[in-house]
Amino acid sequence: MEREALRETLTRLHTELETAEPIDAALRADLERAVEEIQEVIEREEPPEGDHPLRERLETLAVELEQSHPLLTKAVARVVRALSLMGI
């Protein structure tokens, strides 16, 4: 169930990325790369063990987006929460 919820959250994030006002190219690339990594993680049978730099990186990206793209920031925050629920 958690994986399906994360998939839905990623879909919403992707939609937000497509409809967001212009985003710095480097920041957009970082977000897209993170989304791809998350998709790879949720396809695995078991979540990765140990540190979770992906979640931390998303939190950092959310802070960078906070002022200029509040809706996108909320979408990233939902992904971070979903990852936390999965233990990632």
Q: Convert the pLDDT of each residue in 47-57 to its tens digit.
A: 556 556 777 88
Q: What is the spatial distance between Cα 16 and Cα 20, in angstroms, rounded to a whole number?
A: 6
Q: Which domain does 74 fall in, by range?
A: 2-85
pLDDT score of 7: 82
Give this prediction's pTM.
0.68
What tokens does 80 get?
A: 């971070």
Number of domains in the chain: 1
* Contact partners, residue 3, CB within 8 Å, separation at least 6: 42, 86
- Is residue 2 within 8 Å of 82, Cβ to Cβ? yes
Strand runs labelled E in 15-65: none
